[in-house]
Amino acid sequence: MLPEYENYLQFILKLSPLSQESINALVPFLHQRTFSRKDFLVLQGNVSDELHFIISGSVREYFEDANANEINTWFGFENAIAISTHSFFSQKPSLTHIQALEDTRTIVLKYDDIQQLYGRFHEIERLGRIITEQYLVQIEEMKIILQTLTARQRYQYLLQHKPEFVQRIPLKYLASFLGIKLETLSRVRGQKD
């Protein structure tokens, strides 16, 4: 088995135990993909049937508003799931793009394969529920932070709780994610405590 698959299995086994039978059923459905910087994992308007587990690299999720401004909604790094939630679960066109910010390697599971595994193995279905629950908790947390804190407080939150955002994300994307102008982010970054 490839070391990347071992890392993926170690990650998911920390979330929920799986029997050897479930692991043996899961592994043949895993495929590795490589994306160069700026490649798209998901294109807005296309149906996404892939769930990506990030082995290395980083990605951003964004959409374009009516004025063609890019609005960044999420960033993913090693050991994160990259997925167009709306498109993947509804099998409808994606509302967002997911793009590699760095050269990125992922392990991919296809929608139909996951559904087949859910039907055959209750413990894999439980794992999917746990991953979904964690994802929803993170989304709600960020939604509240982005809606209730000042620009400075939002940036400070990222510094303290998500330093990889500040260290690895280009400032223009970070500003968009925080809902502020690039100039405001530069000013906030320059302020002393």
pLDDT tens for residues 104-143?
999 999 999 999 999 999 999 999 999 999 999 999 999 9
Max mean pLDDT among 5-9, 109-113, 132-136, 184-188 falls in 109-113
Asked if residue 183 has pLDDT above 90, the reply is yes
Task: Specify if 49 maps to a domain.
Answer: yes
CATH number for position 93: 2.60.120.10
The number of folded domains in the chain is: 1
Does 86 reside within a domain? yes
In the prediction, which pLDDT does 7 show?
A: 80
Containing structural domain, residue 86: 3-119
Identify whether 135 is part of a domain.
Answer: no
79 domain-assigned: yes
Q: Output the pLDDT for position 192.
A: 64
Which residue, among 10, 36, 34, 32, has the nearest Cα to 23 in the 3D structure?
10
Q: Is residue 16 part of a domain?
A: yes
For 184, other C-beta atoms within 10 Å of its C-beta total 15
The amino acid present at 52, given as its one-letter code, is H
Q: What value does the mean pLDDT take over residues 7-14? A: 86
Confidence of residue 41 (pLDDT cuts 50, 70, 90): very high
Measure the CA–CA gap between 136 and 148, rounded to whole angstroms: 18
Give the global pTM: 0.90
- Tell me the one-letter amino acid at 142: M
